[in-house]
Amino acid sequence: MLEQCSLEDDPELQEKWASLLANAASQDRCHIVYPPFGSILSKLTSLQVLFLDKLHELTALKMVGYLTSKGQPFSMAPFALHELSEKELAILYFQAVNFIASKTPTPDGPATTRAVEDWEFQVDLLEHHFGLLRSARFDLPGRDALKVTGYKNSALPFSGAKKGRRPLTLADAQSVKFPYYFLSQTGYRFVEACKLPKR
């Protein structure tokens, strides 16, 4: 892990490596670092890490309310992810995607298509290669679709014309089957392990 860390030159990813190493050396084992985590981090892009962080942040906030209502400790969050409804999970995903879109400039012309394809590939890797995400599809009637995304198409970063991803209308979204992703147990634990240990 130390060797992999020394090869990283991206400042944001260097911070993740520092947190991963700190958790690995921590005695309280608040965030357990499993052996594959170093290998996974060495293969992720900063955009993937930013997306995972935001999805984790939104999911954690949602889980706090759920676990509190059940009288369960927050350490149970990775095991209780399936307790969130499809609609809740879809909303969390699109909130995270819209956050990424707001942080990333929309490219011009043909670059838009390439950027969308690249994003789809990056998310696909997070699910199928690294096992950090799980995917599903959810039918959202028009009004719910408006609340979830506010954008047309698949709400992927870069989708839509340069002048802006126009807000969905009820005519656009009478019944839209949106794909969405949510953190797997492994993904939730991985993000936790890449956060600075609590003091």
Q: What is the pLDDT of residues 9-38, one digit of tens each?
A: 678 888 898 999 888 888 776 678 888 999
Q: How far is CA 165 from CA 34, 35, 133, 162, 179, in A?
A: 40, 41, 26, 8, 18
Sequence-distant (≥ 6) Cβ neighbours of residue 174 within 8 angstroms: 141, 142
pLDDT of 66 above 60:
yes
The predicted pLDDT at position 121 comes to 85
Per-residue tokens: 25: 């050396």
The predicted pLDDT at position 50 comes to 92
Q: How many Cα atoms occupy the beta-carbon half-sphere of 36 within 13 Å?
A: 10
Q: How many Cα atoms occupy the beta-carbon half-sphere of 119 within 13 Å?
A: 21
How many CB atoms sit inside 10 A of residue 134's CB?
Answer: 18
The predicted pLDDT at position 2 comes to 58
Q: Is the pTM of this model over 0.85?
A: no
Out of 55-69, 79-93, 103-117, 153-167, which region has the weakest mean confidence (pLDDT)?
153-167
C-alpha to C-alpha distance for 92 and 75, rounded to whole angstroms: 20
Q: Which of 104 and 183 is assigned the larger pLDDT?
A: 183
The predicted pLDDT at position 55 comes to 94
The predicted pLDDT at position 79 comes to 87
pLDDT of 153 above 60:
no
Q: Which of 8 and 56 is assigned the larger pLDDT?
A: 56
Across the chain, what does the average pLDDT equal?
Answer: 77
